Amino acid sequence: MDQAEHLLHAAQDEVAAGIDALFDRLLAVPADPRARLYEAMRHAAIAGGKRLRPLLVRAAGDLFHVDRTIGLRVGAAVEAMHVYSLIHDDLPCMDDDDMRRGKPTVHRAYDESTAVLAGDSLHALAFEWLCDPATHGDPFVRAELCCELARAAGPTGMAGGQMMDLVAETADFDLPTVTRLQQLKTGALIGFSVEAGAILARIPAEGRRPLRGYARDIGLAFQIADDILDVEGDEALAGKALHKDDAAGKATFVTLMGLDRAREQARLLVDQAIAHLAGFGDEAALLRAIARYVVERDH
């Protein structure tokens, strides 16, 4: 293992443990009829996933010496938003998936109505945790975080991308449209995660430009890698069903570019993402390692 990989794994382990501990505390099961709702949220949120988004908050925060406990709280909020989107995305009326992160999906382990409400609850909690004065003492920072997260989650971000994804099942999307779809569906929340690190350090929008460029490039590279894994990946490692895009006849980066060009394009985007960080020194080593990881991962 080289130094960058070591740095990545150490941070990933620390962030994953921190997120699990936070979720465990923030999602304590109440002794009333809402217990089932909290259990469903815990089922989906605890001990699962790569925790890429909280890792990005931490890595970007490290650039500006942001307190890591604060970064972790913001990471928990982004991860809650991500988990909510997975729960709703897995619903029978959406992708109708049975497995997620190696476990039954929420509507399979519980039921459909509990899954809808568990997603809705995590969606609201993401904002509640961000806005909490415990997250940051400066109300300007809290308000800006909420505003950016709302944009990343709503119809101009994740939800808009999911709508495009539904339309993609019956429409013939070209490469620019698939790129736009993915920028909304996964790019927006990845972008928020990276930018949040800088918002926490009160870096104005202008100064966050290189980070936005980095996030845009790794977001797209991440999705291209996902499309490649959907074709070539191992279902056991992925913990979910694969080969679904192909079965649905959906245009993806792989169907539009072919495997070789898709792989080449992902590598190019990673180089470009790292180039955006040229103004930073060693403090950006984790962000660089993450950029390489998003295309080299096996699940």
Binding-site ranges for a copy of itself (CB under 8 A): 32-34, 36-38, 41, 88, 91, 93-94, 111-114, 116-117, 119-121, 123-125, 127-128, 130-132, 139-140, 142-144, 146-147, 149-151, 153-155, 157, 159-160, 162-164, 166-168, 171, 173, 177, 180-181
> Mind giving me the DSSP string for 124-138?
HHHHHHHHSTTT-S-
Query: Considering beta carbons, is residue 4 or 70 the nearer one to a copy of itself?
Result: 70
Integer CA distances (angstroms), 278 to 196, 212, 294, in order: 20, 14, 19
Task: In whole angstroms, give the CA distance from residue 289 to residue 194.
Answer: 14
Kindly state the smallest distance separating residue 77's Cβ from a copy of itself, in Å.
Answer: 10
In contact, 175 and 131? CB cutoff 8 Å: no
Kindly state the smallest distance separating residue 152's Cβ from a copy of itself, in Å.
Answer: 9
Task: In whole angstroms, give the CA distance from residue 38 to residue 42.
Answer: 6
Query: Considering beta carbons, is residue 14 or 120 the nearer one to a copy of itself?
Result: 120
Query: Considering beta carbons, is residue 124 or 268 the nearer one to a copy of itself?
Result: 124
Kindly state the smallest distance separating residue 163's Cβ from a copy of itself, in Å.
Answer: 4
Task: In whole angstroms, give the CA distance from residue 154 to residue 149.
Answer: 9
Kindly state the smallest distance separating residue 189's Cβ from a copy of itself, in Å.
Answer: 11
Two tokens, residue 218: 């790794």
Kindly state the smallest distance separating residue 146's Cβ from a copy of itself, in Å.
Answer: 5
Task: In whole angstroms, give the CA distance from residue 299 to residue 296.
Answer: 9
3-state SS record for 199-225: HHCCCCHHHHHHHHHHHHHHHHHHHHH
Q: Find, among 153, 165, 141, the residue nearest to 74 by Cα.
A: 141
Strand partners, 104: 99
Q: Which amino acid is at 161?
A: G
Kindly state the smallest distance separating residue 26's Cβ from a copy of itself, in Å.
Answer: 11
Query: Considering beta carbons, is residue 5 or 111 the nearer one to a copy of itself?
Result: 111
Two tokens, residue 114: 């509990």
Q: Which DSSP symbol is given to 171?
A: S
Kindly state the smallest distance separating residue 106's Cβ from a copy of itself, in Å.
Answer: 12
End-to-end Cα spacing for the chain? 18
Query: Considering beta carbons, is residue 115 or 257 the nearer one to a copy of itself?
Result: 115
Task: In whole angstroms, give the CA distance from residue 102 to residue 100.
Answer: 5
Query: Considering beta carbons, is residue 167 or 237 the nearer one to a copy of itself?
Result: 167
Query: Considering beta carbons, is residue 121 or 223 the nearer one to a copy of itself?
Result: 121
